[in-house]
Homo-oligomer: A and B are copies of this chain.
């Protein structure tokens, strides 16, 4: 009873993972919005309608990818900052670099998170939650740096935070637009460090 249910769930989860993997591959090849359920079905050896047993619509599939992507990005930023528990500025730097590097390594998810590539698709609140957590994390770290007098108080204002996210998002956006496959030379991704420096120089005490 227990083990059988588990076996079924394992199999089902494996199928879901297979579908998502195929979808990501095809989105990397044909563009995020260019992915078709028919192509996904072909790749996993099914007919298109059978996919509806796993996702209630094409947008639901995008939503699952959005959620997994947002969680992965959040974890990457979290882990990078955790390496500098006693230096808030270093944590900010490392977090921004991790943000960009993760985006380069996961260009499909990064497009989904940073742009609006799919007409009609908007992430569900649940899928969006990890993205909000990244913002919260950023806010905490900036406030910590301010309280430790490493940054001016202006850094923790709404505009200060928006500027930080804007600068980092700018690097990612340029990278995705000019090297969408992520297999390039990182001509834009290497700007992460100097871009954050611009922001830090303005707000550092």
Interface size on A, residues (CB 8 A): 38
Task: Pick from A17-25, A52-60, A143-151, A168-176 the stretch touching chain B.
Answer: A168-176
Per-residue CB contact flags for chain A residues 187-201 toward chain B (1 = under 8 Å, else 0) read 110010011011101
Q: Are B32 and A194 in contact (CB under 8 A)?
A: no
Interface residues of A in 154-180 (CB under 8 A from B): 159, 162-163, 165-171, 173-174, 176-177, 180
Question: Which of the residues B31, B33, B114 comes within 8 Å of A177, measured between beta carbons?
Answer: B114
**Which residues of chain B are within 8 angstroms of A114 by Cβ–Cβ distance?**
173, 177
Q: Could you say how many copies of this chain the assembly holds? A: 2
CB distance from A156 to the nearest CB of B (A): 15
Q: How far apart are the CA atoms of A59 and B129 in the complex, in Å?
A: 36
CB distance from A197 to the nearest CB of B (A): 7
Q: Are A119 and B191 in contact (CB under 8 A)?
A: no
**Which residues of chain B are within 8 angstroms of A180 by Cβ–Cβ distance?**
116
**Which single residue of chain B is at the shortest CB-CB distance from A180?**
B116
**Which residues of chain B are within 8 angstroms of A118 by Cβ–Cβ distance?**
31, 33
Interface residues of A in 34-52 (CB under 8 A from B): 34
A115 and B170 in contact (CB under 8 A), knowing A195-B163, A198-B199, A199-B198? no
CB distance from A173 to the nearest CB of B (A): 4
CB distance from A105 to the nearest CB of B (A): 18
Q: Is A30 an interface residue (CB 8 A)?
A: yes
Q: Are A115 and B30 in contact (CB under 8 A)?
A: no
7 closest Cβ contacts across the A-B interface? A170-B170, A34-B119, A31-B119, A173-B173, A198-B198, A166-B170, A33-B33
With contacts A166-B167, A166-B191 known, what are 14 further pairs, Cβ within 8 A? A33-B33, A33-B118, A33-B119, A34-B119, A34-B120, A115-B176, A116-B117, A159-B191, A166-B174, A167-B167, A168-B170, A169-B174, A170-B171, A198-B199
Which A residues are closer than 8 A to B by beta carbons?
30-34, 111, 114-120, 159, 162-163, 165-171, 173-174, 176-177, 180, 187-188, 191, 194-195, 197-199, 201-202
